[in-house]
Chains A and B, each alone.
Chain A
Amino acid sequence: MEVLSLLGDGMILSLQPLNLMMILIGVTVGLFIGAMPGLGSVNGVAILLPVTFLVPPGSAIIFLAAIYYGAMYGGAVSSITLGIPGASTAVATTFDGRPLAKKGRASLALVTAALASFVGGTIANVLFTLFAPLLASVALSFGPPEVFALMLLAFATFVGLGGDDIPKTVFSICLGLVLGAVGFDQISGAPRLVLFDYNGFLQGIGFLVLAIGVYGIGEMLWTIDQTRGDVTATTPKMTVKGMASDTKEAAKKGWKGTMIGSFLGFFVGILPAAGATPGSLMSYGVAKMVSRKPDEFGKGSVDGVAAPEAANNSASTGSMLPMLTLGIPGSPTTAILLGGMVIWGLVPGPRLFVDEQEFVWGLIGSFYISNVAALLINLAFIPVFIWMLRMPFTILAPMIFVLSIVGGFAATRDMFDIWLMVGFGLGAFFLRKFDYPLAPAVLAIVLGPIAEPTLRQSLLLSSGDPSIFFTRPVAGPITIVALILIFLPAIKMLRRMRNKSKKPA
């Protein structure tokens, strides 16, 4: 097969000593950039782009792909060890990764994340290699109504996420959606919800500002209050034998979540408007739905770590697909890579796959190699991350605060956002005390700005007729499934309530 020989050439290129060294360095650098709250692959790629201008594109992309992969693995590290999702794609990883770490099973969570990421990345690479042009046409068939239907499906998985208190969960979702609407109305181009008429709100409220505020400050304050500042250090033991048994356990308990995440993540990831965050969230939701032990989710389920981690790696690889086949960025990182391709003198677009085979397959080949390198390097560093957790809490806590503030600034470059972050942190502390679930708000602020414009674009297309979501061949079934999933729990609950009211009578 021609594809395989091209891919082989690409891999051989990656395995040349110099390129291999660049992969190792790139993955390590990427791992630490990704593990830093606030920084992600987009930073790593953006910073190193000018440097790649100096070398042939073939070598440049290998380096960038290595950083990209390293950062994707790293995202899970801060979610699990610090409890702060470093990127929106890693929010779902905190749901079960953090509880596992608190139970002293951080190494199990980290091993699971690494393995799931590896499998997710590999499956995505294989799908990519075999079906790229076909999948590109699928991506093109997703217009605004289809993307909105998909967002509805993502919201449906929220239903399973919140706590027991339904009004508080609903409040949290809506709060996130409204905060996501601050800044500008994309459709009319008018300023919107510029709170207190303060110009700082014109730029909107970023995901990281809310996420770092809630997790890096609010959750930390809550932990300090709850434990009276004396966190009984769960001293995790770290031995080679322990890691081997963790690997076994991760493979045994997490394979289902990994499979769900790998495939679902990939298909959501190839849609340019959606991206890895809905992919990882939906995978978590589906893994919980099909699990035989759904009660374990949120309390430290291995599947609950595996599904979103497999999904976000798979989706990130998937988001390369619209970039390479259509010249359309599926994520901020691929947007920067796309800019890089112009700098390297390549023309992004449908011709790239045909005209620049060496470049495209060199990149895909380096994905495979980077993925293996990232797995090995990540596993090697797990003891370091665990060691961090063993630091006394009175040293770890201020370090987390410092990383939150510095990382927050690095992401937004604006002191106003830092103040906002501190404000959200204090607010989150009190809401946490009164059992308001905050994860839905953090996810809603990512999904809202995708859902609202696509909803309104669709209605513009149909001249205000909402039936557009049901009549289009792709959007229709997705919408219907999403609506069923959203209302299923409500129907169940109503029935339960009716049964209850009948009983005493």
Chain B
Amino acid sequence: MRVGEIVTAGFLALLSIYLMWKSAELPIGYISGTGPGGGAWPFWLSAIMLISCGCIAFNWWRGTSPASQSDEPVLDSHGWRSLIFVGGGIIGFVALVSVISMYGAIAVFLFYYTWFLGRHSLLLSLSMALITPVALFFFFEGAMRITMPTGMSFTDPVFNFLYDIIY
């Protein structure tokens, strides 16, 4: 945790500097007669962010924040595993949306999570993975009139069939 604290603060400081630099594309000063320029608001707030990072680093050096005193690893092996499996699962989910449509991706993700991570029975996992997207389809497309991504064109026949049902 102790190393993580300063690395995080360092990273956030870099982010602040980037935001300051980016804000400076617009005037950041006080233009007489009209008030602050277009970049002033984000620029000076980013500057405060940078100062905060400085304070965080100072507290780290003094060792006043709980994280800066802890020798625990940021993530132990279990933590890493769950982050990679769950976080990675979410990333995979979102990536799949543009391939096999939102509803297809939901089915795959739910099955992956309940069966592989949750160790539920195959029957429960499969039924969750199938019922949820269908229910969501009728809720969003039928009732709420919100169209979700349909993925690549090979899913069209399925969706055309479904749209015929609801409209």
Contacts and interface: CB of A to CB of B under 8 A. Distances in A.
B7 to A, nearest CB: 10
B52 A174 contact: yes
A406 B101 CA distance: 12
Interface in A376-425: 392, 394-395, 397-399, 401-402, 405-406, 409-410, 413, 415, 418-419, 422, 425
B38 A178 contact: no
A174 B66 contact: no
A167 B59 contact: yes
B134 interface: no
Contacts of B41: 177, 181, 452, 455-456
Nearest to A394: B118
Interface string A163-186: 001111011001101100110010
Contacts, number: 181
Contacts of A402: 106, 109-110, 132, 136
A190 B31 CA distance: 16
A100 to B, nearest CB: 25
Interface string B53-94: 101100100000111000000110011001100110111011
Interface stretch (A106-114, A431-439, A478-486): A431-439
A418 B136 CA distance: 18
B69 to A, nearest CB: 12
A394 B114 contact: yes
| Binding site secondary structure of chain B | helix
Interface stretch (A291-299, A306-314, A342-350, A457-465): A457-465
| Binding site secondary structure of chain A | helix
A332 interface: no
Contact of A190 (B38, B45, B106, B117): B38
B26 A394 contact: no
A43 B139 CA distance: 13
B138 interface: no
Interface string A332-362: 0000000000000000000000000000000
Contacts of A413: 146
B33 interface: yes
A415 B38 contact: no
18 contacts: A167-B52, A168-B56, A171-B12, A171-B49, A178-B42, A181-B42, A229-B117, A392-B120, A394-B114, A395-B128, A398-B118, A401-B93, A402-B136, A406-B106, A410-B148, A422-B94, A452-B41, A463-B34
Interface of A: 29, 33, 39, 43, 47, 165-168, 170-171, 174-175, 177-178, 181-182, 185, 187-188, 190, 192-195, 217, 221, 224-225, 228-229, 392, 394-395, 397-399, 401-402, 405-406, 409-410, 413, 415, 418-419, 422, 425-426, 429-431, 433-435, 452, 455-456, 458-460, 463-464
